[in-house]
Homo-oligomer: A and B are copies of this chain.
Amino acid sequence: MARTYRVVIGVMGAAQCDEPTYGLAKRVGTLIAERGAVLLCGGRGGVMEAAARGAKEAGGLTIGIMPGMNASETPPNPYIDVAIFTGLRDGRNWVNVCASDAIIAISGGYGTLSEIALALKIGKPVVLLHSWDVPARDFAPLYVAETPEQAVELAFQSAGVATASAVQTESS
């Protein structure tokens, strides 16, 4: 059966980052939007903001999976279109992983590491872009990219969703 809902690429990274990392994440967001996928992230600052900004400025749709119950607890960054408040705190990292067709981890702290690990636990593709040096075990769908272009290409390929833009056209 043809897939009717949109492709979602998750971008994971820390809530604070330096400028080069912000630039990488923004570019990744732009490329995801240009390929017609939805950008999902944790909705906060740093890498999450940069990725959402890149996607939104390219006309894409951005989803933030928020740790808090509401915006008073965890305000979404200004580039989030739809804020999914979860009230699960960092337990929402599990949702980030399940809800993405593939994730791209950019730099990142322990929260990002948890998302990489949870994704690999359930066989969800992970692309590392200047991120944690996690070893690939068995047949884990783990990829390493050097550039935003490579990262996004690997994410789409590994998720088996090369037809993202087609799907988006139909569903828009």
Query: Which residues of A does B touch, CB under 8 Å?
Result: 3-6, 8, 38, 61, 63-65, 69-71, 76, 78-91, 93-95, 98-99, 109-111, 113-114, 117-118, 120-122, 134, 137, 140, 171
Would A61 and B85 count as touching, CB distance under 8 A?
no
**Which residue of B110, B120, B137 is within 8 Å of A121 (Cβ)?**
B110
Q: Which residue of B lies closest to A79 (CB)?
A: B4
Would B91 and A87 count as touching, CB distance under 8 A?
yes
Q: Tell me the bound Cα distance from A106 to B15 in angstroms.
A: 30
> Which 6 A-B residue pairs are closest in the complex by CB-CB distance?
A114-B117, A91-B94, A113-B117, A110-B121, A85-B98, A110-B120
Copies of this protein chain in the complex: 4
Would B98 and A69 count as touching, CB distance under 8 A?
yes
Would A134 and B113 count as touching, CB distance under 8 A?
yes
User: Could you list 13 examples of A-B contacts with CB < 8 Å?
Assistant: A4-B76, A5-B64, A5-B83, A8-B83, A81-B171, A85-B99, A87-B91, A87-B94, A88-B95, A91-B91, A93-B94, A93-B118, A94-B94
Q: What 15 additional pairs, Cβ within 8 angstroms, besides A69-B89, A87-B90?
A: A3-B71, A5-B83, A8-B83, A63-B82, A84-B99, A85-B99, A87-B95, A88-B88, A88-B89, A89-B94, A90-B118, A90-B122, A110-B117, A110-B140, A114-B121
Q: Known A5-B83, A90-B94, A91-B88; judge A137-B110 contact (CB<8 A).
A: yes
Min distance, Cβ A163 to any Cβ of chain B, angstroms: 15
Would B99 and A110 count as touching, CB distance under 8 A?
no
Would B84 and A70 count as touching, CB distance under 8 A?
no
